[in-house]
Amino acid sequence: MTSETISKGLWSVSAVLLVAACSVQAENTEALPGPAELQTQIPRPSISLPFDNPFPDRTNQSNDGSVFEPCIAYDDSELIRFDIDPKLIEDVAIVNGQGIRGCKWVMPERFSLSVAVTNSNSLEEYRSGAIEYNWMTDLELGERTVGYFELDHGFSKACLTYVQSANAGVVTKVVTYEDDNGPVGGACELVANFTRAYIDKIPE
């Protein structure tokens, strides 16, 4: 099984978990927002992505709570600093209307790093809907409280951070894989350092 296959599978699982963490109950009886409320929603800017986008609803009501767009947030030198090849970029979306919006960079047989936006009102709300994660002590980065958690899949390890941005969470995820010497470490250190380096890019 290749690291690319593993990465896509993990993101498929994580996409479900991310959406579940911030979804509402199916029996929600709240009234739909009126015209005045709709006018206060964060506008969706028109952006040029570094790849062809086949999904008309890539940005949707499940991930439009922040204007932050991970796919254009980092220049080449900022990625290379963390041994990420800027050309190896992919959309995290695998279907139209997906609840997460962002990009991932897959370094074959080593690690992948992804940054995704999903609507959530707070870290506390997100954490209460994701109790299956191993939550560690929050980080304090740039005077902001950052959620810090991990998942161990056996053949790989994922470590993630959560940064609140307006009405959404920005989730940065690093997955490391096994090599001939066993599991590759450093996922939590890498995700913490990457988030620390570029947290100022994420609007509050």
Q: Which domains does the chain have, with CATH numbers?
A: 3-23+55-201 (3.40.1000)
Which pTM value belongs to this model?
A: 0.78
Size of the chain, expressed as the number of residues it contains: 204
| Distances from the Cα of 66 to the Cα of 110, 142, 155, angstroms | 31, 19, 33
Closest CA to 162 of 128, 178, 176, 186: 128
Rounded mean pLDDT, 112-120: 98
pLDDT in tens, 33-87: 444 344 344 455 567 898 999 999 999 999 999 999 999 999 999 999 999 999 9
The CA distance from 100 to 169, in Å, is: 10
Can you give the pLDDT at residue 64? 97
User: Residue 43: what pLDDT?
Assistant: 52
Q: What is the pLDDT of residue 134?
A: 95
**Range scoring the smallest mean pLDDT among 13-27, 89-103, 127-141:** 13-27
**What pLDDT is attached to residue 157?**
85
pLDDT digits (tens, 9 = 90+) for 22-33: 443 334 433 334
